């Protein structure tokens, strides 16, 4: 497979669209400039293409293995991971006090896209560590931070998130893992967790498990959940490694995709754990990590869509089949490259126009993550927090749906060659499929959007968010040169406002109708906001000449004409489809 990181587009979005000064004006980012961003992105591309892409298919073929209670990663992974941590990729946005580089999360997300595109299984061994680091940095005591975080930033220790149990997934209030207080202030953790990404492996010296459990006597349900740090190897007071903790790997899952990533079932048999944060407040702390991961999982879908597009485009340029419609590129030949077939071109542009729009959505969201964490302006922080909260379920669900639809379309362009292992397209489909499921299924994300983000304080912000886009579009409505972009975006936004009103009128009293429309609403929301972002991008480059900007305008126009019309049918389904769903009884399935 081939992969060329879309660095030019990434830098365009940061430097020319949102404006690099919005990053460099934040405390701690004063030295972040265009040259630094470009240099880091180019080094990331070099590592991803030379080290990770080359072992991706081998990792899928050989997979992670489990024997005698231990997990072994596929050939090449240990060497690649050693280079990964030696080059400092585990500490891009980590605190310099812990050995990190203190760079923007916006930069981290662009690197995450490259890692996801070239070897998602490999990326997962460091991804949960990244989330665990930031949770501990926010919520742990000074002693915990000093003892554990430098090793996590260095990459020689890794982290996990242990939530799911055999009998409970989304409904974490049903968990049974227990925590018994010990006189020395620690706890004995007992229970079983499943589906633990990177729960065991041979890449790091230690693995730090973040485990939710219920302290003896705690309230039932989510109000009685606490959070604990449970290291695989106990850590002495001086920071050195001690004896093994009572954490045992029971098995690894045999999965459809991401086969080189070890997804483990873990048993905690009275393991030593350290309370993180307050008793019975563990879920609030864990959700901070989960929300970081949800944005990151969305980026996984984006990365896989990008590499699928690149390879399908390359194949379409080289594969000769049948004669193209007139005018043909070369009448003397018996067949033409399939890219000249209009439907192949349509499929490629459907992927590209959404990928470039989705990347803008990620950049927009991650900019607000940086503002939320670095700004000193309380009003700006509040707006950024609400923006991130509103967009997190949208990024996770829309981008992972896009990842699967794009990998499937790319596979279709390959025809029969896409169905066999040789070209790698079928692996992309299999690897991408999990992204719609883990870190909260996309249906759960849709419910979060309609039931939480459209109500209360975030709901008030959502109103303002949509009104601001409405004002932007109205401000450019009279410009005839922009009509092909502003008009469709404004029409879609009008449909979104209609759907939002319909949802709000029924929240509470007609909850089943709202829940039944949630998935369609999220897609309508995402398609519309991406259209608004495209419109803003086009307004920003309207006076700029050159092939790059001209192609941008063409891609945006395709999105407006061929992708955005889906919002018409989505609105009809939302406001006109509740009776058909409600009237079909559960008994009717029999």
* Catalytic positions: 439
d(CA 286, CA 135): 7
Contact 71, 262 (CB under 8 A): yes
Contact 428, 303 (CB under 8 A): no
In sequence order, which residues have a C-beta less than 8 Å from that of residue 239 and are 6 or more positions away?
147, 151
- Of 497, 493, 496, 508, whose CA–CA distance to 451 is shortest? 508
d(CA 561, CA 380): 35
- Residue 327: cis peptide before it, omega within 30 degrees of 0: yes
- Quick one: angle between helices 142-154 and 120-139, nearest 10? 160
d(CA 421, CA 427): 7
Say whether 292 sits in a helix, a strand or coil. helix
d(CA 323, CA 330): 9
From the number of C-beta atoms within 10 Å of its C-beta (0-12, 13-18, 19+), residue 299 rates as: buried
CA distances from 570 to 309, 448, 527, 567, 574 (A): 26, 19, 10, 5, 6
Would you state the structure tokens that stand for residue 337, as one six-digit string? 């490259």
Provide the sign of the torsion angle of the four alpha carbons 269, 271, 273, 279, taken in this order.
Answer: positive
- Of 115, 137, 139, whose CA–CA distance to 125 is shortest? 115
Pairing relationship of beta strands 157-162 and 206-215 according to DSSP bridges: parallel
Contact 365, 295 (CB under 8 A): yes
DSSP string of 465-483? HHHHHHHHHHHTTT-GGGH
Would you state the structure tokens that stand for residue 318, as one six-digit string? 């080289």
d(CA 305, CA 409): 10
In sequence order, which residues have a C-beta less than 8 Å from that of residue 569 and are 6 or more positions away?
none
Contact 133, 102 (CB under 8 A): no
- Backbone φ and ψ for 230, nearest 5 degrees, come out as -125, 100
d(CA 278, CA 238): 25
Contact 100, 93 (CB under 8 A): yes
How would you label 169-180 residue by residue, b for 16+ Cβ within 10 Å and e otherwise?
A: beebeebebbbe
Pairing relationship of beta strands 206-215 and 178-181 according to DSSP bridges: parallel
- Of 96, 84, 172, 173, whose CA–CA distance to 129 is shortest? 84
- Quick one: angle between helices 425-433 and 378-414, nearest 10? 140
d(CA 112, CA 89): 10
């Amino acid at each position: 497979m081939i992969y060329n990181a879309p660095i030019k587009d990434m830098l365009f979005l940061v430097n020319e669209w949102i404006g690099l000064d919005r990053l460099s004006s934040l405390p701690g980012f004063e030295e972040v400039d265009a040259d630094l961003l470009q240099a880091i992105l180019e080094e990331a591309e070099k590592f991803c293409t030379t080290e990770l892409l080359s072992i991706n298919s081998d990792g899928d073929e050989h997979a992670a293995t489990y024997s005698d209670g231990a997990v072994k990663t596929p050939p090449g992974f240990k060497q690649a991971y050693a280079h990964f941590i030696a080059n400092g990729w585990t500490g891009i946005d980590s605190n310099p006090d812990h050995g990190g580089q203190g760079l923007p999360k916006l930069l981290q997300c662009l690197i995450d896209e490259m890692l996801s595109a070239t070897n998602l299984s490999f990326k997962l061994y460091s991804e949960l560590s990244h989330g665990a680091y930031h949770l501990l940095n926010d919520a742990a005591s000074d002693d915990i931070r000093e003892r554990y975080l430098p090793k996590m930033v260095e990459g020689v220790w890794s982290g996990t998130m242990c939530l799911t149990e055999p009998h409970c997934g989304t409904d974490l209030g049903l968990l049974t893992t227990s925590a018994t207080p010990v006189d020395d202030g620690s706890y004995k953790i007992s229970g079983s967790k499943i589906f633990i990404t990177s729960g065991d492996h041979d890449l790091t010296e230690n693995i730090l498990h973040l485990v939710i459990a219920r302290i003896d006597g705690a309230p039932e349900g989510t109000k009685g959940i606490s959070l604990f740090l449970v290291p695989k190897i106990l850590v002495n007071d001086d920071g050195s490694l001690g004896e093994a903790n009572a954490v045992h790997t029971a098995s690894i899952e045999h999965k459809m995709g991401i086969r080189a990533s070890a997804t483990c079932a873990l048993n905690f048999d009275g393991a030593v754990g350290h309370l993180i944060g307050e008793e019975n407040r563990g879920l609030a702390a864990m959700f901070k990590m989960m929300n970081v991961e949800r944005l990151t999982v969305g980026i996984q879908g984006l990365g896989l869509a990008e590499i699928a597009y690149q390879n399908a485009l390359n194949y379409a340029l080289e594969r000769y089949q049948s004669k193209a419609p007139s005018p043909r590129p070369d009448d003397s030949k018996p067949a033409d490259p399939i890219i000249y077939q209009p439907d192949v071109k349509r499929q490629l542009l459907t992927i590209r126009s959404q990928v470039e729009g989705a990347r803008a959505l990620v950049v927009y969201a991650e900019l607000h993550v940086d503002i939320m964490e670095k700004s000193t302006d309380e009003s700006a922080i509040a707006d950024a927090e609400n923006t991130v909260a509103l967009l997190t379920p949208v990024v996770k669900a829309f981008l992972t749906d896009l990842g699967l639809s794009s990998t499937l379309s790319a596979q279709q362009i390959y025809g029969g060659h896409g169905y066999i292992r040789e070209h790698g397209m079928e692996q992309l489909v299999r690897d991408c499929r999990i992204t719609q499921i883990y870190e909260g299924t996309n249906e759960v994300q849709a419910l979060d959007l309609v039931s939480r983000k459209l109500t209360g304080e975030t709901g008030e912000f959502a109103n303002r968010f949509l009104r601001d886009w409405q004002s932007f579009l109205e401000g450019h409505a009279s410009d005839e040169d922009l009509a092909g972009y502003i008009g469709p975006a404004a029409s879609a936004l009008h449909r979104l406002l209609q759907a939002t009103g319909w949802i709000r009128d029924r929240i509470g009293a007609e909850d089943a109708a709202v829940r039944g429309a949630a998935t369609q609403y999220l897609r309508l929301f995402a398609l519309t906001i991406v259209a608004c972002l495209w419109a803003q991008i086009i307004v920003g480059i309207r006076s700029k000449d050159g092939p790059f900007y001209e192609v941008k305008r063409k891609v945006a126009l395709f999105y407006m004409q061929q992708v955005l019309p889906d919002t018409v049918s989505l609105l009809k389904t939302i406001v006109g489809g509740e009776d058909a769903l409600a009237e079909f009884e559960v008994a009717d399935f029999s």
